[in-house]
Structure 1
Amino acid sequence: MAGTEHLTVRREGATLVLTLDRPEARNALSLPMLVGLYDGWIEADTDDDVRSVVLTGTGGAFCAGMDLKALAGDGMAGQRYRDRLKADPDLHWKAMLRHHRPRKPVIAAVEGYCVAGGTEILQGTDIRVAGESATFGLFEVRRGLFPIGGSTVRLPRQIPRTHALEMLLTGRPYSAREAAAIGLVGHVVPDGTALTKALEIAEQINACAPLAVEAVKASVYETAGMTEAEGLAAELERGWPVFDTADAEEGARAFAEKRPPVYKRA
Structure 2
Amino acid sequence: MMHTNNSQLVLVEKRDSTTIITINRPHKRNCVNGPTAKALYQAFLDFDADTSAAVAILTGAGGNFCAGADLAAIKNQDEANPMSSEWPETLPGPIGPMGPTRMVLSKPVIAAISGFAVAGGLELALWCDIRIVDSSATLGVFCRLRGVPLIDGGTVRLPQVVGRGVAMDLMLTGRAVKAQEALKIQLATCYPASYEAVSDTPALEQALALAATLAEHPQVCMRNDRLSSHFANPIREAMLKEYELGQDTLTSGEFLERIGRFFEQTEAKNKKKGAAKL
State if a TM-score over 0.5 links the two structures.
yes
In the alignment, does 2:27 pair up with 1:24?
Answer: yes
| Residue 185 (structure 1) aligns with | 188
Percent identity of paired positions between Structure 1 and Structure 2: 33
| Residue 263 (structure 1) aligns with | none
Per the TM alignment, residue 89 of structure 1 is displaced from its structure 2 partner at its CA by 7.0
Aligned partners of 2:155, 2:85: CA distance in 1, in Å? 24
SS at match of 2:67: coil
Q: 1:94 to 1:202 in 2, by over 3 A?
A: farther
Per the TM alignment, residue 224 of structure 1 is displaced from its structure 2 partner at its CA by 3.3
Gaps of 5+ in 1: 226-266
| Residue 69 (structure 1) aligns with | 72
User: CA offsets, 1:108-140, max 9 Å, x none?
Assistant: 101101110110111100111111021100022
User: CA offsets, 1:164-213, max 9 Å, x none?
Assistant: 0000000111101111111110114215x110110001001111222222
Aligned partners of 2:183, 2:120: CA distance in 1, in Å? 19
AA of the residue aligned to 1:222: F
AA of the residue aligned to 1:182: I
RMSD: 2.5
SS at match of 1:190: coil
Per the TM alignment, residue 86 of structure 1 is displaced from its structure 2 partner at its CA by 9.3
Aligned partners of 1:123, 1:18: CA distance in 2, in Å? 16
| Residue 215 (structure 1) aligns with | 224
Q: Is the 8 A contact 2:97 2:152 kept in 1?
A: no
| Residue 173 (structure 1) aligns with | 176
| TM-score in terms of structure 1 length | 0.75
| Residue 56 (structure 1) aligns with | 59
Aligned partners of 2:113, 2:204: CA distance in 1, in Å? 8
In the alignment, does 2:13 pair up with 1:3?
Answer: no
Aligned partners of 2:177, 2:50: CA distance in 1, in Å? 36
Aligned partners of 1:48, 1:87: CA distance in 2, in Å? 30
Equivalences for 1:64-213 in 2 at 5 Å?
64-70=67-73, 73=76, 78=78, 92-93=95-96, 96-187=99-190, 188-190=198-200, 193-213=202-222
Q: Is the 8 A contact 1:7 1:37 kept in 2?
A: yes
Aligned partners of 1:55, 1:209: CA distance in 2, in Å? 23
Aligned partners of 1:157, 1:217: CA distance in 2, in Å? 15
Per the TM alignment, residue 71 of structure 1 is displaced from its structure 2 partner at its CA by 5.8
AA of the residue aligned to 1:16: T
In the alignment, does 2:36 pair up with 1:33?
Answer: yes
Q: Is the 8 A contact 1:94 1:100 kept in 2?
A: no
Gaps of 5+ in 2: 88-93, 191-197, 235-278
Aligned partners of 2:49, 2:145: CA distance in 1, in Å? 40
SS at match of 2:21: strand
Q: Is the 8 A contact 2:141 2:175 kept in 1?
A: yes
AA of the residue aligned to 2:25: R
Larger radius of gyration: 1
Q: Is the 8 A contact 1:128 1:185 kept in 2?
A: yes
Per the TM alignment, residue 2 of structure 1 is displaced from its structure 2 partner at its CA by 6.3
Aligned partners of 1:23, 1:94: CA distance in 2, in Å? 19
AA of the residue aligned to 1:145: V
Aligned partners of 1:87, 1:16: CA distance in 2, in Å? 28
Give the aligned length. 218
Aligned partners of 1:183, 1:31: CA distance in 2, in Å? 31
Q: Is the 8 A contact 2:113 2:133 kept in 1?
A: yes
Q: Is the 8 A contact 1:31 1:73 kept in 2?
A: no
Q: Is the 8 A contact 2:37 2:82 kept in 1?
A: no
Q: 1:53 to 1:94 in 2, by over 3 A?
A: farther
User: CA offsets, 1:79-118, max 9 Å, x none?
Assistant: xx77x95999775417544311221100010110111011
